[in-house]
Structure 1
């Protein structure tokens, strides 16, 4: 697809003659930005061009989709975030932002700028948040095809083009909304499953059940389980399990008269020596000194 961009002035007569559908498309485009070149290029009109050091503030919403290449994005209340292919981000009115491709990759971008009463309503939905403006869309053929239709509609104009552009923009926002909801549901299911496995770990602290066995018990692969568990808890399953055992052992050392060997055995450790070595590495004291330390 050829690169294309068009910026529409709000006072153009053809817009005045057509009904207000609550979304007014102000600019739309597709750009392939080459490697090792200045971004944004000089073809950006006044009001849209920005210097990296200063960033930019717009008076409109923009939806920007990075189809290929990598880069960075930064906005008010959001630190610098790496951009990967398939990332979509929203720009919000009156919120400072800046973004650019990596010099050694460049990137391909699609964007549409819009405003209007219905646009304001849509952008107040839960999944559209100026503090979380990035959504990982990945490759979505329907999304790309609608973007191409939108660009062609603005490129070739004709009767009813503004209404059609508004409809296509609503379709794009609908796909983004659906993608965000599915991701939220997926994350919710993931969190619930990991919480169930965490419960199993607590219930089996006195055994030697392995993380692989826990994954099989819950009908998921160990590779997925380990990645998801660390993503949610910040620790690998094995370390999480070991930390719980050490905490339980420490409590038993303080609150019971069981020997160190018995404490080790009841917490699933193979030997007193192994337990003592692991306990000291975690608690910085040997089991006997920990017990005697007030």
Structure 2
């Protein structure tokens, strides 16, 4: 039995909390549309003063905590306490000893989920005792909250198979969103702001019909070329120029599909002065020449 020490036992005003019965989980957990990932517990604790948990042997499920107000701390496997502040999300791996608490002066407001399933480890791979809270963008924040309420409202109305299947698919969406957010590291923009690599991607998108150098991209991000290249590749898996060229080819595909422009016209429009180089690059990325791509039936 997992130890679960609790300082606050009488709940929090306006809290939401659902723990699925064990027999329901056992009945549905092997269903092919559920077994990959499913929610076992879900909750919302507003202004949770004195909220505290200690699980010396961890939880059998992965625990997702998202703080939207106030602050608190999390400690994994007896390591140093990590601060959780507004806008940060944390995943505590299954079976990881942990402890967490809300601030006594600025108590947190948190949404939380317990998740299990065959693909849970894959969704949250790379998370260990050194995991840290991740800041979530405003857009992703709204989606997390929306997914919580949709899951909660469905479960509140009963545990039918169709509802559990739907909630399981929402859980996959949520886990994918968290995974994506955790793999988008922030780097310094200046002393007051954070520059997300998304700004650089947007800059590329706005200059696909021109030619942008690596130095220009790094300058736009206010980073040295080596630092910018390292952060960009860590985030996307590609070097900046490689990614930029792939965006150009992606736009070229749209022109081939939706316009009658010649291959030469498209290549020049996208900043390629040599149509032969454009065609070679297109085939390298897409696996077929521009003309072969254009003649392929789609839709």
- What is the TM-score with the length of structure 2 in the denominator? 0.53
The change in CA–CA distance for 1:159 and 1:59 in structure 2 (over 3 A counts) is: closer
The equivalent of 2:176 in structure 1 is: 174
1:38 is displaced (CA, Å) by 2.6
The equivalent of 2:146 in structure 1 is: 145
Unaligned stretches of 5+ residues in structure 1: 41-49, 193-216, 233-294
The change in CA–CA distance for 1:181 and 1:16 in structure 2 (over 3 A counts) is: closer
1:114 is displaced (CA, Å) by 1.4
The equivalent of 1:24 in structure 2 is: 38
The change in CA–CA distance for 1:18 and 1:155 in structure 2 (over 3 A counts) is: farther
The change in CA–CA distance for 1:160 and 1:133 in structure 2 (over 3 A counts) is: farther
The equivalent of 2:131 in structure 1 is: 132
Q: Tell whether the 8 Å contact from 2:67 to 2:88 is kept in structure 1 after alignment.
A: yes
* Number of aligned positions between the proteins: 186
1:159 is displaced (CA, Å) by 4.5
**Matches for 1:211-230 after TM superposition, within 5 Å:** 218=219
The change in CA–CA distance for 1:13 and 1:76 in structure 2 (over 3 A counts) is: closer
Unaligned stretches of 5+ residues in structure 2: 1-12, 189-194, 198-217, 232-299
Query: Equivalent residue of 2:182, what SS?
Result: helix
Corresponding position: 1:4 with 2:4: no
1-side partners of 2:136 and 2:163: how far apart?
A: 27
1-side partners of 2:56 and 2:81: how far apart?
A: 13
Q: Tell whether the 8 Å contact from 1:70 to 1:85 is kept in structure 2 after alignment.
A: yes
**Matches for 1:30-41 after TM superposition, within 5 Å:** 30-34=44-48, 37-40=49-52
1-side partners of 2:87 and 2:26: how far apart?
A: 34
The equivalent of 1:108 in structure 2 is: 109
The equivalent of 1:79 in structure 2 is: 80
Q: CA RMSD in A?
A: 3.8
The change in CA–CA distance for 1:100 and 1:142 in structure 2 (over 3 A counts) is: same
